[in-house]
Amino acid sequence: MTSFSENGLFGGLFDRGRARTGDEAWLQAMLDTEAALARAAERAGLAPAGSGAAVTAAARSENFDNQSLGVQAAATGNPVPALVRALTGLLPGAAYGAAAAVHRGATSQDIIDTAAMLLARRAIGAIGADLATAAGACADLAQAHAGTVMAGRTLLQQAVPVTFGLVAAGWLTAIDEARCELHRIAATRLAVQFGGAAGTLASLGDAGPAVAALLATELGLPEPVLPWHTSRLRIIELAAALAGACAVLGKIGRDVALLAQTEVAEVHEDSGGGKRGGSSAMPHKQNPVAAIVILGCARQAPGLLATLAAAGEQEHQRAAGAWHAEWEPLSDLLRLTGSAAAWAADLLTGLRADPARMRANLDASGGLPMAEHLAALLAPALGRLDAHDLVARASARAAADGTGLAQALLGDETAAARLAAAGLDRGRVEAALAPGSYLGASAEFVGRALAAHAALDLPGERPAA
């Protein structure tokens, strides 16, 4: 089951899923970093035996008062100094022993940046699990509806026929590409941060690089070539991957919202037995809630990405304000991407297509979406431009009179004569207007998408518990 956090009035909408990025998650990630650093210091011979275990035992979020740490952060510009004091105070014999391992060689940014990497890795695992569920549902839809003909739409107008299977395959491929990018970020770009005051680790003497390597090993994070205090490309790449995932999910949400309109009604969300989608004013309404909330999440992502990209320009060895500007936007972007992914898993696993309605909407256009096909058949005899113009004039008559394209062509003497000269009698015209005759490579593309999806193996995605 999908879990919900107590994140205020809107938590059920914008904090859905398992991508935890609130105060408790941040605090535990910082404590995990401090604990790993203590273990690394002990392994490097810089702290007494047992120090790492003692710090790790104390570094549990329930042992700390988030509100108090937040108040104290106002004195230092971040919560780490207060956290270090509180953590040290929990250790037995705090003046000696294990206290020597706490925050050894680190600066506040090392702890917060590394915590951000841990937070992102955990969130990406949860996001990936929901994206995998959503992708699996898309694959099912693509396979089930590979031959379900519907109107393709460009610029919100009917274009040429497609299949709903191809639409779902497009969703599938986009989700899988977003999953791959998030996997790449999690595997290669979420590096540990450990540089000390100005990126030299001078306080550790010759042991600095060894402690950095041990810290990376303890946390299971890559060790970067250098500390990256004011080189923020990792954050920007992470943010871009999250915003990209939101864009993919937003496109699906938009498609579903449009296809679920009353006048279109080609797809329907699962209403949860009538419990979801109602209106406070109109008893008849059945709103596509999942699609709408996905869009609500996705619309916020570009602004958060822009803030994080703007914060990437940082001065000298430590930034004055730009680093601080990252924390909340990154938390929000992780949270919203997680929520959009959870909603998408819900939406797509319960989405119902209506093939009869799809065909009825296509047929209601009187064959106009097949105009390109007819023009292509006429082109060898009339030339491409003349064929296009002949069918365009007939299409305009059909739209104005409501007669349908076949009648507009065959009922006009000039057009009928040119059709006959091209070897197109009524039977061939009507056959050319059959939507199933003009699907191009739709079936092959669906097959490619399904094959690529089946071959995808992303072990970092953590399945929902």
Percent of the chain with pLDDT over 90: 80
For 315, the 3-state DSSP assignment is: coil
Report d(CA 121, CA 117) in Å as an integer: 6
Cα–Cα distance, 325 to 157 (Å, whole number)? 43
pTM as predicted: 0.93
CB 255 within 8 A of CB 167: yes
pLDDT digits 0-9 by tens, 129-176: 999 999 999 999 999 999 999 999 999 999 999 999 999 999 999 999
Going 407 to 408 to 414 to 418, the CA torsion angle's sign is negative
| DSSP structure class, residue 47 | S
Beta-carbon contacts of residue 163 (< 8 Å; ≥ 6 apart): 145, 146, 147, 148, 149, 150, 439, 442, 443, 446
The C-alpha atoms of residue 176 and residue 182 are separated, in whole angstroms, by 10
pLDDT tens-digit map of 4-62: 445 688 888 888 988 899 999 999 999 999 999 999 999 999 999 999 999 999 999 99
Q: 328: which 2 tokens?
A: 């909340």
Catalytic residue among 203, 279, 426, 437: 279
Classify 163 as helix, strand or coil.
strand
Q: For 244-294, write each residue's pLDDT tens digit.
A: 999 999 999 999 999 999 999 999 998 776 666 554 555 555 788 999 999
Instruction: Evaluate whether 285 touches 251 at the Cβ level (below 8 Å).
Output: no
User: In the prediction, which pLDDT does 460 show?
Assistant: 73
Terminal Cα-to-Cα distance of the chain (whole angstroms): 8
**395 given a catalytic annotation:** no
- Asked if 442 and 162 touch (Cβ cutoff 8 Å), the reply is yes
> Are β-strands 352-353 and 267-268 bridged in parallel, bridged antiparallel, or unpaired?
antiparallel
Instruction: Extract the tokens encoding 373.
Output: 């096909």
Give the confidence band of 448 by pLDDT, cuts at 50, 70, 90.
very high
Tens-digit pLDDT profile for residues 401-422: 888 999 999 988 888 888 888 8
Q: How far is CA 11 from CA 22, 247, 345, 365, 459, in A?
A: 11, 21, 17, 43, 29
Return the closest-CA partner of residue 208 out of 84, 88, 105, 312: 105
Burial of 206 (0-12, 13-18, 19+ CB in 10 A): exposed
Residue 190: DSSP 8-state: -
Q: How many angstroms separate the CA atoms of 365 and 405, rounded?
A: 9
**Mean pLDDT computed over 383-389:** 93
Query: What tokens appear for 139 in the block?
Result: 């694959």
Catalytic residue among 60, 85, 184, 318: 318
* 462 assigned to active site: no
DSSP label at residue 219: H
